[in-house]
Amino acid sequence: MVPIVDTLLTCARQNIAFRGHRGEAGVVSATGVDPTENDGNFRELLRYRIRSGDKTLQSHMECTAKNATYLSPDIQNSVLNAAGEVVRE
């Protein structure tokens, strides 16, 4: 989960939009291969990390159940809200 949270916080710090114009869902390819359609900056950065050799993230994408990827927009918002609370404290 650390690579996912790190990527979320990187997007937030850089003021980069997370999602594309569609409801992106599902697992990011563990091989780092791009989809045929743009599915947002967050998911693309995760694929970039996999291509760059992040074995922890690659293993997560290969082995996790589809309902436990921690990539959904709801999870993204929860992580960002939690990070915001930590900053405010």
Range of 71's domain?
2-88
Q: How many domains, the chain?
A: 1
Model pTM?
A: 0.80
State the pLDDT at residue 24. Answer: 65
- Rounded to whole angstroms, how far apart are CA atoms 33 and 44? 10
pLDDT of residue 6: 92
pLDDT at 14: 92
pLDDT at 48: 92
Backbone angles phi, psi at 31, to 5 degrees: -90, -10
25-78 pLDDT, tens digit each: 667 887 777 787 888 889 889 999 999 999 999 999 999 888 888 888 888 889
**What's the rounded Cα separation, in Å, for the pair 52 and 79?**
24
